[in-house]
Structure 1
Amino acid sequence: MGNVWDAEMVVSPFMAKQLIEGQFPELAPGEVNEIGKGFDNTVYSVNGKYIFRFPRRAIAVPLLKTENRLLPPLAEKMPLPIATPCYFGSPVPDLYPWPFTGYYLIPGKPPGCLSHAERITSAVPLGRFLRALHAFPAEQAKSLQVPYDELDRLGVVNRRPKLLGFLNEIRDLQLYERVDDLEQIVQDTEPHETAGHEVFVHGDLHIRNITVDANGKVSGIIDWGDVHIGHPAVDLSIVYSFLPPEGREMFFHVYGEIDLQTQELARFKALYTTVLLMLYGHGHQDAELIKAAGQSLDLLRL
């Protein structure tokens, strides 16, 4: 049985250079370097100024198209830099079957392992960012063809057995010591009604989709492929996987208070996403990601 992140097509550095220079000759000769890959896209830096993302699976193509429509009008309203498209690549017969997109480079790097003090510096900027994002008019988002939550990301009943299975896998692989504590969080999470919430959300806010500066402070938000209309807990998961308790207090002072049900759903979503990131790191022999995910799991237990 395959993994959820298995690619259907991987764009090599040579192919990326072919596609980029063939459609955007002003970027030639292109300095093209792979900087990462996720579930949906292979990512290259180009000339130290741009980021190009190439879908790895067909399911990622409509997500990329949504980003292309949405992000330019959204960028001017956000208090943190976001990945803004500037090059729109087309499929090439017999070479690459899907569109691809180039973005202005956001300075910074994935957070990796940080101290509590470093993490706390991001509490207020993250609070301001999510307050502004969740205030973006849902009707405007719908007019840009942003979908509803089609994956039931907060469906505790359906996701609980999957999450417990992932945790068993982490225990068997000896990737994390306190799996029992995490299983207790899963068992204690009650299903909650999420219908009726029409908030514009990023949809996949975690340690691989934010960047930080040299001081560990959040500097930008990337990878908007999961953007949708849904429950704010989907995004508020970052509060529990990235911030220590002191930082959470500062965050909610800026963002606004949330009820206990939203807190519970946000923690559950954070756990689900972080566990998948840890398993992804193991599958790709990414020791740094495994360690960073372990820090997030430590925070979730606080």
Structure 2
Amino acid sequence: MAKPWAAEQIVTNDVALELISKQFPELVPLTIKLIGEGFDNTVYQVNQQYVFRFPRRSIAVDLLLVECALLPHLFSLGLPLMVSEPVFFGKPEERYSWPFVGYRFIEGESPGAATVDQRMQSARPLAQFLSILHRFPVEKAKELGVQNDLLGRLDLAKRLSQVDSNMNKAMELGLSRDRRVLDSFLSSLRDGGGDNSGTGSPPKCLVHGDLHIRNVLVDENHIISGVIDWGDVHTGDPAVDLSFVYSYLPPEGRSLFFSIYGETEESTLKLARFRSIHISLLLLLYGYDQQDDVLVAATQDSLKLAFEDL
């Protein structure tokens, strides 16, 4: 079975240099550095001022275009966390048949090991950010091309078996040793303890759609300062984004978060925790496959947090 992060097109350093130089001569002379290869995009920093993203899979192309239509509207809201601002729009060429986009560079780095206090200090800005984002008018988002969740991110009929399988893989690889807490939690979901939010569920709000440790940035004090990679943005269930609360904040941080974000239904919270486990396991296996020890350690921490107070 193909890995979900397998690339269909990879833009090398030389190809990226050629494409950007040709289409955006105002940026020449170029300095270019590879800064990331995710599931959907290959990412280069250009002239230390911009970030260019090149889709790696066909599914990411339309997502990139929708993202570029929406982001200027989010950027104008004055969000408490920085978001990407698209400024260069690349066109398909012979050497690369998909569009690509350049954004203003956002200062910050991916979260590594963080103390409880540092995580606690991220609770307030994160809650303020998601509160504003989730109140963005759904009809306005649809006008900009944002679609409902077509992937069934919270479809328990599909996702429960994936989580079960990925936990088995993690245990086989020695990345996790005990699944008793997970089994108890999954049983409660199978018994109807959480909503089955599939692709047919009505959209509730605008969500980032892929909020996890690889898509947030922290400042020099290790406090969350920015949110990047909006390719999975859609209208759907807030639990998709609230999953990050369970994979990054300790229990006391969650209490602070929801005191600011607002009251949330228990079924939504349960789905959010499930989503956090699902994504953390997927990133754990991805990190192992990519031999990224930092990501492996970070996602193991995320799983521990997601299982806390269960």
Q: TM-score range by the shorter chain?
A: over 0.9
Match of 1:248 in 2: 254
CA distance in 2, matches of 1:180, 1:6: 31
CA displacement 1:191-210 (0-9 Å, x = unmatched): 41543442011101001000
Distance 2:181 2:294 in 1: 23
Per-residue deviation, residues 178-236 of structure 1 (Å, max 9, x unmatched): 33323332232234154344201110100100000111101100000010010110100
After superposition, the Cα gap between the structure-2 partners of 1:9 and 1:108, relative to the gap in structure 1 and judged at 3 Å, is same
CA contact under 8 A between 1:155 and 1:191: conserved in structure 2?
no
User: In structure 1, the residue corresponding to 2:83 is in which secondary structure?
Assistant: coil
Structure 2: distance between partners of 1:246 and 1:17 = 47
Report if aligned partners of 2:156, 2:196 keep a CA contact under 8 Å in 1: no
CA contact (8 A) 1:203 1:228 kept: yes
2:195 aligned partner, one-letter code:
H
Q: Does 1:32 align with 2:38?
A: no
Distance 1:296 1:183 in 2: 17
TM-score normalized with structure 2 length: 0.95
Which of 263, 274, 293 pairs up with 2:280? 274
**Contact conserved, 1:60 with 1:225, CA < 8 A, in 2?**
yes
SS at the partner of 2:214?
A: coil
Distance 1:22 1:178 in 2: 53
Matched to 1:225, the amino acid is G
- Report the equivalent of 1:301: 307
**1:175 shift after superposition:** 1.0
Could you tell me which residue of structure 2 aligns to residue 20 of structure 1? 20
Q: Which runs of 5+ in 2 are unaligned?
A: none
Distance 1:193 1:164, change over 3 A: closer
Which residue of structure 2 lines up, in the alignment, with residue 117 of structure 1? 117
Deviates more, 1:69-78 or 1:96-105: 69-78
Tell me the equivalent position of 2:294. Answer: 288
Deviations 1:19-72 (A, max 9, x none): 111111111111100011110000111111111000001110000000111101
CA distance in structure 2 between the aligned counterparts of 1:184 and 1:215, rounded to whole angstroms: 37
Residue matched to 1:175: 175
Q: Gaps (5+ residues) in structure 1?
A: none
Deviates more, 1:169-178 or 1:139-148: 169-178
User: Secondary structure at the residue paired with 1:36?
Assistant: strand
User: How much has 1:255 moved relative to structure 2?
Assistant: 0.3
Aligned residue number for residue 192 of structure 1: 195
What is the RMSD of the two structures over their aligned residues, measured on CA atoms? 1.1
Q: In 2, are the aligned partners of 1:201 and 1:230 still within 8 Å (CA)?
A: yes
1:292 is paired with a residue whose SS is helix
Instruction: Give me the whole-angstrom Cα distance separating, in 2, the residues matched to 1:27 and 1:178.
Output: 52
Q: Aligned with 2:230: secondary structure?
A: coil
For residue 201 of structure 1, what is the aligned residue in structure 2?
Answer: 207
Percent of aligned positions that are identical: 47
2: CA distance, partners of 1:254 / 1:45: 35
1:31-70 paired onto structure 2 within 5 Å? 31-70=31-70
> Aligned pair 1:222/2:225, yes or no?
no
**From 250, 257, 263, the counterpart of 1:257:** 263
**Match for 1:70: what amino acid?**
L
Q: Does the 8 Å contact 1:157/1:191 carry over to 2?
A: no
